Chain A
Amino acid sequence: MTTDNSSNSPLIKVRGLCKAFTGIEALKNISVDIFQGDVAFIVGPSGSGKSTFLRCLNRLEEPTGGSIFFDGEDICDKTCNIDLHRQKMGMVFQQFNLFPHLTVMRNLTIGPMKLQNKTKEEAEAKADALLKRVGLSDRRDAYPNQLSGGQKQRIAICRSLCMNPEVMLFDEPTSALDPEMVGEVLNVMRELANEKMTMVVVTHEMGFAREVANRVFFMADGEILEENAPVAFFDHPQNERLRSFLRSVL
């Protein structure tokens, strides 16, 4: 699975990223490069800063130090238009966060129509194609509360994809799902990875990380302690914290 990206410049370049909440240093001086086509998984114990790191990448969480370059522009700079960059960074949440007052179709089309000046026909054609891909064409006129958790998360992934993002951020996308629904969401993510969508995924699904990722990061106490290709990461962990973490979850 490992691909050679060294010739490209990174899509996301994180330098010295810090985030402090009152009294807690959630992120300590993190520097990472994410390249086009990377499927980067971040694992680690809860409270280690994984989600905070991911949420800093599109500034849902405001970093307190460092810089994040996306497409070469520092998005932590106060003068940059973060809303434009967010259109190119899809985000999938643990709690789905579909808009309950809008139909599935409207959830998918409101972004492209309001933000990218797509016509209704263009937006719906794109949405229909995505719904077909995730097997939910028959739910296009349903409201989110009529869907199962797995269906909601697949729709949420489609909602982000409708914006044609350059990178997809996944924040524990299967953690709120009943076990029998995890598979359907992972299948969609696996397909995305196969199509070389750039993905950054925070998850507790170790088997899935090993199968799909090309890079795996281990975070603990707000720092990245180890990074490796999945086979080496899971079979020959170097860091002692990672070894004990893997012993406890595998």
Chain B
Amino acid sequence: MSDLVNSFYQNFIEKDRYQYLLDGLKNTLIVTFFAVLIGIAIGFILAIIRSTYDNTKKLKILNFFANVYLTVIRGTPVVLQLLITYFVIFASVNISKLLVAIIAFGINSGAYVAEIIRSGINSIDRGQFEAGRSLGFSYAQTMIYFILPQALKNVLPALGNEFVVLLKETSVAGYIALQDLTKGADIIRSQTYSAFMPLVMAAAIYLVMVIAFDYLIKRLERRLRSSDH
């Protein structure tokens, strides 16, 4: 027991090493939060381009580029996308690693969010679309007022899952030496030569965040289901 207490003291209290975890957590949250925003924005736009093309055959060129983007992003590892963003695309630019990580993870997440939202749009009965159009709503208005609200409700669990995945995926940010939560724990390990305490602590922090996030999503789902009695 006293071993455990000693180890805890040595890894977190001594020389204020808990700061590595705190700073890392802060960066993890920043990267995840802004990457989610970028992902949602990209995902929405791509989903609408793709389903507009599917329904009306308009936006042919945009649809082509959307498909290329989806294929490349979903077909390559996120670590490589991060490395390429940092060491190739922004190689000659002085740019913060935090920003690079936000951009890379946001672009990555956008591809998955796009497919999730598109599947939600496809899940809505065609009659809903016809009802909106027959009242005189334009294509865009019908999307905004009738299709997307129902589509988002249907895909909320899948979207929540994507954001959980994203939160955990940011743990590879250490590849570009960004000090996120995982990297912070690893720095402590390299200083104290004890692996168990810092790594398990970092894992526990991820776990708590995911559980809390799941709880919030479940509550939101329950509220949105109020029309499904």
Contact = CB atoms under 8 A, between A and B. Distances in A.
Instruction: Name the prevailing secondary structure of the B interface residues.
Output: helix
Given A114-B141, A145-B227, A86 B130 contact: no
B208 to A, nearest CB: 33
Contact of B136 (A84, A95, A101): A84
Contacts of B125: 95, 97
Given A99-B146, A146-B229, A93 B127 contact: yes
A147 to B, nearest CB: 10
Contacts of B153: 101
Contact of B138 (A83, A93, A111, A144): A83
Given A99-B146, A101-B153, A145-B227, A93 B136 contact: no
Nearest to B228: A145
Interface in A53-106: 58, 60, 83-87, 89-91, 93, 95, 97-103
B128 A111 contact: no
Contact of A93 (B130, B146, B226, B228): B130
A160 interface: yes
B87 interface: no
A100 B134 contact: no
B127 A115 contact: no
Contacts of B135: 86-87, 111, 115, 159-160, 163
Interface residues of A, number: 30
Nearest to B126: A97
B127 A145 contact: no
Nearest to B229: A146
Contacts of B137: 83, 111, 114-115
B149 to A, nearest CB: 5
A114 to B, nearest CB: 7
A234 interface: no
A154 to B, nearest CB: 15
Most chain A CB atoms below 10 A, which of B128, B136, B137, B153 = B136
Contact of A58 (B127, B134, B145, B227): B134
A60 B135 CA distance: 11
A60 B133 contact: yes
A97 B141 contact: no
Contacts of A163: 135-136
Size band of the interface chain B makes with A = 20 to 34
A100 B227 contact: yes
B128 A99 contact: yes
Nearest to B130: A60
B154 to A, nearest CB: 10
A245 interface: no
A32 interface: no
Nearest to A162: B135
B229 A143 contact: yes
B204 to A, nearest CB: 39
B25 to A, nearest CB: 37
B131 interface: yes
Nearest to B139: A83
A182 interface: no
A91 B134 contact: yes
Nearest to A92: B134
B128 A145 contact: no
A60 B145 contact: no
B150 A101 contact: yes
A110 interface: yes
A86 B136 CA distance: 5
Most chain B CB atoms below 10 A, which of A58, A83, A89, A159 = A83
Nearest to B134: A91
B134 A60 contact: yes
A117 B141 CA distance: 15
Contacts of A110: 145
Most chain B CB atoms below 10 A, which of A90, A99, A103, A163 = A99
